[in-house]
Amino acid sequence: EPEVTQTPSHQVTQMGQEVILRCVPISNHLYFYWYRQILGQKVEFLVSFYNNEISEKSEIFDDQFSVERPDGSNFTLKIRSTKLEDSAMYFCASSEALPGWGRAFFGQGTRLTVV
């Protein structure tokens, strides 16, 4: 079965540093997403991306966050200046169509630890 791959699986960074989380969505998918899950809490939507632009972002997705699809295969999430509260699992997802019509496949996640 096709899968979404994320790298790295675990990233430790110092507060204030920039991090880039990488994802390779499924090749024929058109819609891309980032979600976050703080330990013990629910999965929260961060941003959706379609046709090379952000289609929706949450309140969490402030100016410190950005997304990019630099080369037609990778999809990245950048956090410019990490805070302690950014520590969480970050999940990339992709879907061929909007989730109502197709499955949203999630990657295995990147665990970000900010120290």
**Site residues for another protein per CB under 8 A:** 4, 31, 33, 35, 41-45, 48, 50, 55-56, 58, 89, 91, 93, 95, 98-100, 103-109, 111
Q: What is the DSSP letter of 64?
A: T
CB of 55 vs another protein, minimal distance in Å: 4
Q: Residue 108 contacts by C-beta under 8 Å, 6 or more apart in sequence?
A: 5, 6, 9
Measured from the CB of residue 8, what is the shortest distance to another protein in angstroms? Answer: 14
In whole angstroms, how close is the CB of 27 to another protein at the nearest point? 18
Give the N- to C-terminal CA distance of the chain in Å, as an integer. Answer: 36
Beta carbon nearer to another protein, 18 or 56: 56
CA distance 17 to 89: 17
